[in-house]
Structure 1
């Protein structure tokens, strides 16, 4: 049993190393195919800190905390309704009431 666990751990470690190596080789291949360093070639996610300000971008679109706060306020104003949440609350209230009545019936 110990040998099986050791072999499994070795295989998993080898797979992780292989995946990381493949990702690095793919990145180098992309740069080699382009033939030059393109300043427009951006990372998928980037975060820059300058003093108290933090700016981030996701797939080239700038994201700020003001955008997130505006979306949060908009959702609060709309009063987003979650059907499954309300259905779950009604079911739990019904089950709780039924179990209380059953317990009272049994104990009396």
Structure 2
């Protein structure tokens, strides 16, 4: 699960870097700077020291992430795949323990 998450993160960063490179290439190909071409990621520091970021024109802040975490906790969403994985892990662990017990009793 961790490997998959890390690979997805690396690929996502690669896509964003590719979009930035394409933006620079479009500007260079055109021969002049046009305000119509916006950078895919912009990071600005506000007056009060907070960092503001926008990805593809949508503002992203830590307050948004905290709000989403609170909503998830309130909903107490049931994750089917998580519970399925835990059940399968418990079954495999039980079977493995029984096999080890039988093997150790024979030796």
TM-score, normalised to structure 2, is 0.62
Quick check: 1:31–1:37 contact (8 Å CA) kept in 2?
no
| Deviation (angstroms), 1:71 | 0.8
Match of 1:43 among 9, 25, 39: 39
Q: Offset at 1:31?
A: 6.0
Change (3 A) 1:52 1:89: same
Q: Look at both structures and tell me which one has the larger radius of gyration over its CA atoms.
A: 1
1:58 CA drift (Å): 1.5
* Higher RCO, 1 vs 2 (CA within 8 Å, ≥6 residues apart): 2
Query: TM-score by structure 1 length?
Result: 0.61
TM-superposed deviation, 1:28: 2.3
Cα distance in 1 for residues equivalent to 2:80 and 2:63: 29
1:1-48 deviation digits (Å, cap 9, x = unpaired): xxxxxxxxxxxxxxxxxx9xx84442223465xxx743x642111001
Instruction: Note the residue ranges of structure 2 that are not aligned, 5 or more in a row.
Output: 1-17
Q: State the aligned residue count.
A: 84
In the TM superposition, 1:61-72 aligns within 5 A as 61-72=58-69
The Cα shift of 1:62 comes to 1.6
Aligned residues of 2:53 and 2:60 also touching (Cα < 8 A)? yes
Deviations 1:27-81 (A, max 9, x none): 223465xxx743x642111001235211111222222211111011111211232
Q: Which runs of 5+ in 1 are unaligned?
A: 1-18
